[in-house]
Chain A
Amino acid sequence: MLNNYFKIAFRNIFKYKLHSFINIFGLAVGFASSIIIFLYANCELTFDAVHGKAENIYQVYKERITPAGTQLARDTWFPMAKTLKDDFPGVEKAAHYFDETTWLIIGNKKFEETVTYASNELFDIFTLEFVKGRSAEPFKNINSAYITETLADKYFGNENPIGKNINIDYQKDYTISGVIKDLPANSTLQINFLVSSESINNVERQYTNWSSSFLSTYILLNHNTSKESIEKLFPDFIEKTWDKQTRESTNFKLTPLLDLHNEETDSNQKAFILIAIALGILLIASINFVNLTTARSIERAKEIGLRKVIGASKLSLIQQFLSESLLLVFISLIAGLIIVEILLPNFNSLYNLDLHISYLDNPIIILQIIALSMLIGLFSGLYPAFYLSKLKPVDSLKGENRINLRKINLRQLLVTSQFAISVVLIIGTIIMWQQINFMRTADLNFDKEQLVTIPITLSDFKNKEAAQTRLESLKNELRKNSNIISVASSSHVPGMWQDWFTFVYPSDRNKEERLRMRIAVVDDKYFETFGIKFLKGRNFDKNIKSDEEGVILNEAALKAIGWNDVENRQFIRGENRLNLLGVVKDYNYESLAVGVEPVFHIYRSEENAVHNYVSIKLASNNFAETVEYIKETFKELDTERNFEFNFIDESFARLYESEERMASIISYFTIIGIIIASLGLFALASLTVIRKRKEIGVRKVLGASTSKIVFSFTINFMKLTLAGIFVALPLSYYLLDEWLNDFAFRVALNPIWFISGSLAAIIISMLTVLYQAFKAANADPVNSLRNE
C-alpha cells in the first residue's frame, strides 16, 4: 500500500516539475537556513555546558551600591578563592584566574600571547582534558605550565612540547608539563598558556591583599548547597574582611556559570531573535507547501474521487497524502542537509565560527532533525490531507470543487502571513543597518580620523630605562615631521577602552558619598591629539608641577557629582587631594551601544610608565607616506617585535562587529525568506491562472482588454500584500523599538523605513504576479475555452 502511495508521489513530483521544485527547493533552503541558525543558537544557548560540573559552578561578583543604582563588577581579590573554600560550608572547590597579555620568549623568539594565571583547583572545577602529560596534581611544581594543542602546534610543531622551557617577559622560566585540549569557542574560560597564580612576583603579599581586585573567582558547590545559602553568608564576611561601611555599600553575589555568558552579552536574546527568524522561514516554506498542495487539488480531485469509488476510505486517503508530504519533506531534508554541508564552511569563515554537525558523535541531532522534518511534514501535510480527503466523489469526478470556494479564505490567510513575515524581516533588516550606520558615522565628540595608536608599555622591554629614553627621543623625532600634528601618551584610548575604576569623593562631602568612576591617565597632549573639546577650565600643563594632582572630568562626571562650575573644587582619592582643572565634552570612548559614564582623567607626564598607548594625529595630506614613516621609526625601537598600528576609526568600526555580524546574518536569511515566499507566490499565481483560464477566456471573448484582465488578476494578490503589510507594521514597530532600546545611542524610528520596507514587498509581489497575469491575459481564448 505504502509502496503504491510513494509510487504516485514520485510520479507526481516528476509530472509537476515546477511545483515540485518550488516545494522541495523552498523547504530545503528553509531547512538548511534553520539548521544553520539552530546550530548557531545552540552554540550560544549551551555556552559553558562543555564543563561537566557546570550546573554547580558559580562565579563570585560584587555589586557596588551607589546613589545612582548598583554597579556590577566581576573582578575579585586574590585571597577570595581560598577563603571561600575554607570558611564557607558547601563550597567544594574554589579557584581564581586572571589573564595577562604579555611576551613569551621561546629560544630567541618573542611572541605576544595571553597568559592565564590560575590556582590549581581550576582543574577540578572546569573540564580541562589532557592530551599529553596527564597530571594528577597540577601545579605541584610551581613552575609548571600547561598549553593548548593549538599553541603547542604553533610553537613546537611536531616536536614533543613536554619539558620545553618558556620564559615570560624576561622574568620567569616555566617548564611545559602538559598539553590540554582546546576549549570550544562557547566556553567563558579560554586558555592558551596556563601557569600557576602562585608563581607571580611577591605572591606572599597577595595572600592578604583585599585591596586590589583583578581576578575572576569561581566556586563549585556540592549538590545540596544552594546559591542563596552561600549568598546569605556574604554580608558578615564583608564586614569581617573590610568594615561595616563596606558591608552597607557592597553586595556579593553568585552568577551560575551557565547564565554568565548571557548576562554579559545578552546572547540569549540574539539566539532567540535568530530562532524566531528560522521559524519564520520554515513557516514561509511550509505555507508554500500547504498552498500549492491545496491549490492543486482541482487536478487531483479526479484521482481522489476515483479512489473513493473503488473503495478508498477517508483514512486511507489521509494516509496517502500524509505519506506524500512526508516523502517530499524528506527529500527536502536531504537536499537541505547537503546545502548545509556546502554552506557551513563559508558561514563559519564569514563569521569566524566553528559550527558543524557531528552526526556520528551526536546521534541525538539526527533524531532532532528527523523530528523537525516529521513535524514540518505533518504540519504542512495535515491540512491538505484532510481537505482533499473530504472531497465528494461525484463532485470531484465531474471536475467540480465545491468546498474550494469556502476554503480559499485559509489560503489567503496563509499568504497574508507569509507577507507579514517577509515585511517584518525587510523592515527589521533596514532598521538594524540604520542603527549600525548611525553608530558608525555618529559624531563621537572627538576627531577619530587620521589617528594612529600604538600599544606600547615600558614593561614590554628587557631594559626599561634604556627603552624609556629611546621612546622619548622617538616621539620627539616624530614631532619634527611636518605631517604629524601631535603625539600623545595615555593609559587609555577611545575605541579600545579598558575597564579601570576608582573611588573618589568631593572634599567637601563625606567619604560615604564616594563615587565609582572610570579613570584614565593622560598626558598634556591627549585632549588636543584626540580633538576633545573643553567646556570649562583648562588642560593639564606640564610646566605646572601641581597638575600632577589635577583632574579633568567629562560632563557625565560633573553631572554625577552635581556641580556646575570648576572653580575651587577638590576631590579625595585614597590619601590624595586632587584639584579640578577642567571639564571636557562627553566623548564616546566605547561603542555607542553603551552610554558615556563619568570619567576621571588624571595627569602623568608622557614618559611615565603608566601609559599604555602612543597616539599620533596625522595631517590629511601624505597620509600613507606618513604612516610608513611611523612604522619605519618604530622598527628601530625594538627589532625583536612587531608593533601593532591601530587606526582609531577602525578600532571603532570593530566595536560594531557583533552587531554587524548579527545584521548581516539576518540580511542573508531575510533574502532567503523573501525568495522562498516569492517562489510560493509565483506558483500560486500560476495555479490561479489555470483555475481562472476559462473565466479569463470568457472575459476576453466579451471584449475585456489585456490591461483590465491584468488589473483584476493582480488586485487580488495586492490585497493580500497590503493585508500582510498591515499586520507587519505594528509588529515590526514594536519588535524594533524593543531592540533599539538596548542601545544607549539609538536612531529614532523613521516612517520612511517602514514605507520603503512595505514598498519593497509590494514591488516584489507585483513583479512575481504580473508575469503570470500577462501570460493569462495574452492567452488565446479559443484554447482556454475549448479545454472544458
Chain B
Amino acid sequence: MIKLVNLDKYYKNKFIKTYVLRNINLEINEGEFVSIMGPSGSGKSTLLHILGMLDSPSEGEYYFFNEPVHKMSERQHSELHKNHIGFVFQSYHLIDELTVFENLETPLLYQKVKSSERKAMVADMLDRFKMVAKKDLFPNQLSGGQQQLVAIARAIISNPKIILADEPTGNLHTNQGKEIMDTLKKLNDEGKTIIQVTHSEENAKYGNRIINLMDGWIEK
C-alpha cells in the first residue's frame, strides 16, 4: 500500500544540508498498525507528514497504491488525502469556531457530499462515538479526551483507508489515552491501516509493528 524508496529529507541553509530523514526504505501493507518511535528530533513527525502528503521529500520515491506521490502536484495531493487519509494530532486541532457537529461535517463539505447524506453520516458517527448529546458544543467546552475522540471521528468520517496519528495521546491523562488507543485498535480491527507516532512503549504495543527512528535513520 505504501512504499518509500531511498527517501531523504533535508533543509538547505546556504551550503549546509541539515538532514532530517536519511535513506528511508519502508513498506507498509493494508491493515497494518505501525508505530513509529524514537527520541525527540529523530524525524518521526516529519516522516508522518511526508506519509500524509503534508510535506514533500527532498529526494527519493513515495508510492501510494503504486502511484508515484513524489511526482504529483499539490492539487493531486489534496485529492489523495481528501479521499484516503485521515489525520489525528497530538493537540486535537479542531476548528474552535465550529461545533462538534460542524467539525465532523467539514471534511464532507470538501468532498461535496449531499446535505441529507452528510447529516446521516455525521449522526452515525456521533452515535458510534456516543457524543450525540455533545453535538452542539464547541471544542473548548469538551475535555481533552472528548476532543480527541471528535478528532478521530472527523478523521474517519470520510472513510479513509489509512489513519495517521501524531502522538494522539500526548496531551491526555492515562485513562483518556487508553480509551483513544482502544478506539484506534478497534478501527484497525475493522480493517483500517493505522500509522502512529508515539513516545510510549505502552501505546506501541497496540500495534503490530514498530519502526525505530534515530537521527533520521531507521534502526534495523
Give the B-binding residues of A (Cβ under 8 A).
1, 4, 7-8, 11-12, 15, 302-303, 305-314, 316, 393-394, 397
B residues less than 8 Å from A309 (CB atoms): 52, 54, 81, 87, 93
Q: Which B residues contact A (CB, under 8 angstroms)?
A: 49, 52, 54-55, 74-75, 78, 81-83, 87, 89, 93-98, 102, 105-107, 109-111, 154, 158
Q: List the B residue with the shortest CB-CB distance to A302.
A: B93
- A8: chain B residues at CB < 8 Å are 95, 97-98
Identify which of B55, B102, B107 contacts A310 (C-beta below 8 A).
B107
Can you list 13 A-B pairs, Cβ within 8 angstroms, ordered by A?
A4-B98, A4-B106, A8-B98, A305-B93, A307-B95, A307-B106, A307-B110, A308-B78, A309-B93, A310-B82, A311-B83, A311-B158, A314-B74
| Contacting pair A311 B107 (CB below 8 A) | yes
- Find out whether the CB atom of B111 lies under 8 angstroms from the CB atom of A306: no
Chain B min CB distance to A304 (Å): 10
Asked if B87 and A310 sit within 8 Å, CB to CB, the answer is yes
Q: Which residue from chain B places its CB closest to the CB of A11 in the assembled complex?
A: B97
Contact A4 B87 (CB under 8 A): no
> Are the CB atoms of B106 and A12 closer together than 8 Å?
no
A312 engages B97 (CB within 8 Å): no
CA distance A393 to B107 in the complex (A): 15
Q: Which of A311, A313, A394 contacts B49 (CB 8 A)?
A: A394
Query: B residues within 8 A CB of A397?
Result: 89, 93
Q: How far is the CB of B8 from chain A (nearest CB, A)?
A: 17
Collect the chain B residues with CB atoms within 8 Å of residue A312's CB: 78, 110
Select from chain B the residue with minimum beta-carbon distance to A397. B93
Q: A313-B78, A394-B49 are in contact. Are A306 and B97 (CB under 8 A)?
A: no
Top 7 A-B pairs, shortest CB-CB distance = A311-B82, A311-B110, A11-B97, A310-B107, A394-B54, A309-B87, A8-B97
Option from A1, A15, A308, A393 in Cβ contact (under 8 Å) with B109: A1
Q: Is the CB of A15 within 8 A of B110?
A: no
Taking the nearest CB of chain A, how far is it from the CB of B7, in angstroms?
A: 16
Q: Decide: B110 and A310 in contact? CB cutoff 8 A.
A: yes
**A8 nearest CB neighbor, chain B only:** B97
Name 13 extra pairs, CB < 8 A, besides A307-B106, A311-B82: A11-B97, A11-B98, A15-B97, A302-B93, A303-B96, A303-B97, A305-B93, A310-B106, A310-B110, A313-B75, A316-B110, A394-B54, A394-B55
Q: Which residues of A contact B158 (CB under 8 A)?
A: 311
A7 to B105, CA, bound (A): 13
Bound complex: CA of A7 vs CA of B101, how far in Å? 13
What is the CB-to-nearest-CB distance from A67 to chain B, in angstroms, rounded to a whole number? 77
Collect the chain A residues with CB atoms within 8 Å of residue B83's CB. Answer: 311
Q: Which residues of A have CB within 8 Å of B55?
A: 394
| Residues in chain B near residue A305, CB distance under 8 A | 93
Given the complex, which residues of A lie within 8 Å of B49, measured CB to CB? 394
By a CB distance below 8 angstroms, the chain B residues around A393 are 54
Instruction: Give every chain A residue within 8 A of B87 (Cβ-Cβ).
Output: 309-310
| Residue of B87, B89, B96, B107 contacting most chain A CB atoms (<10 Å) | B96
Q: Is the CB of B102 within 8 A of A311?
A: no
CA distance A309 to B94 in the complex (A): 11
Contact, CB under 8 Å: B93 / A306: yes
Assembly CA distance A397 to B89 (angstroms)? 10
A306/B54 in contact, CB under 8 A: no
By a CB distance below 8 angstroms, the chain B residues around A314 are 74
- B154 near A310 with CB under 8 A, answer yes
Interface centre among A8, A308, A310, A394 (most CB of B within 10 A): A310
Q: Least Cβ distance of A769 to chain B in Å? A: 29
Query: A318 to nearest B CB, angstroms?
Result: 14
Residues of A contacting B110 in the complex (Cβ-Cβ under 8 angstroms): 307, 310-313, 316
Name the distance in Å between B89's Cβ and chain A's nearest Cβ. 7
Enumerate chain A residues within 8 angstroms of B94, measured Cβ to Cβ: 306
Contacts of A12 in B (CB 8 A): 97
Distance between Cα atoms of A512 and B87 in the complex (Å): 98
In the bound assembly, the distance between CA atoms of A354 and B97 in angstroms comes to 47
Give the residues in chain B near A4, CB-CB below 8 Å.
Answer: 98, 102, 105-106, 109
What's the nearest-Cβ distance from chain B to residue A594, in Å?
63
Residues of chain B contacted by A306 (CB below 8 angstroms) = 93-95
Q: What's the Cα separation between A397 and B102 when bound, in Å?
A: 20
What are the residues of chain B within 8 A of A394 when measuring CB–CB?
Answer: 49, 54-55
Per the bound structure, the CA–CA distance linking A625 and B74 in Å amounts to: 90
In the complex, which residue of chain B has the Cβ closest to the Cβ of A310?
B107
Q: How long is the Cα–Cα vector from A314 to B49 in the complex, in angstroms?
A: 19
CB distance from B21 to the nearest CB of A (A): 14
Bound together, the chains give a CA A310 to CA B89 distance in angstroms of: 12
CB-defined contacts of B74 to chain A, threshold 8 Å? 314
Cα-based distance from A314 to B54 in the complex (angstroms): 14
Question: Within the assembled complex, what's the spacing in Å between the Cα atoms of A302 and B154?
Answer: 16
Q: Residue on A with the closest CB to B112?
A: A1
A11 CA to B97 CA, complexed, in Å: 6
Q: How far is the CA of A311 from the CA of B54 in the complex (A)?
A: 11
Residue of A nearest to B155 (CB): A310
A751 to chain B, nearest CB (A): 50
Q: How long is the Cα–Cα vector from A231 to B109 in the complex, in angstroms?
A: 70
Residues of A within 8 A of B106 (CB): 4, 307, 310
Closest residue of B by beta carbon distance from A5: B109
Whole-angstrom CA separation of A309 from B93 in the bound complex: 10
CB <8 Å contact, A311 and B111: yes
B147–chain A nearest beta-carbon distance, Å: 13
A308 to B49, CA, bound (A): 13
Partner of A311, one of B78, B95, B97, B98: B78
In chain B, what residue has the closest Cβ to A313? B78
Residue numbers in A under 8 Å from B89 (CB-CB): 397
User: In whole angstroms, what is the CA distance A116 to B82 when docked?
Assistant: 79
Chain A: minimal CB distance from B116 (Å):
14
Alpha-carbon gap, A563 to B75, bound state (A): 88
Q: A327 CA to B107 CA in the complex, in Å?
A: 23
Question: Across the interface, which residues of A come within 8 angstroms of B96, CB to CB?
Answer: 303
Q: Closest CB-CB distance, A553 to chain B, in whole Å?
A: 81
What are the residues of chain A within 8 A of B54 when measuring CB–CB? 308-309, 393-394
A393 to B52, CA, bound (A): 11
Nearest CB in chain B to that of A303: its residue: B95
Least Cβ distance of B156 to chain A in Å?
A: 12
Q: CA separation between A312 and B83, bound complex, in Å?
A: 11
Q: Which residue of A lies closest to B111 (CB)?
A: A311
Give A301 Cβ to nearest chain B Cβ, in Å: 11
- CA A7 to CA B95, docked complex, whole Å: 12
Contacts of A308 in B (CB 8 A): 54, 78
Closest to A9 in B: B97
Query: Could you tell me the distance between the alpha carbons of A312 and B95 in the complex, rounded to whole angstroms?
Result: 13
| Min CB–CB distance B127 → chain A (angstroms) | 21
Give bound CA distance, A220 to B98, whole Å.
Answer: 67
Q: Give every chain A residue within 8 A of B82 (Cβ-Cβ).
A: 310-311
Q: Whole-angstrom distance between the alpha carbons of A311 and B79 in the complex? A: 7
Q: Kindly provide the distance from the CB of A653 to the nearest chain B CB, expressed in whole angstroms.
A: 59
A246 and B158 CA atoms in complex are apart in Å by 93
Name the distance in Å between B57's Cβ and chain A's nearest Cβ: 13
Q: Is the CB of B102 within 8 A of A7?
A: yes
Contacts of B81 in A (CB 8 A): 309, 311
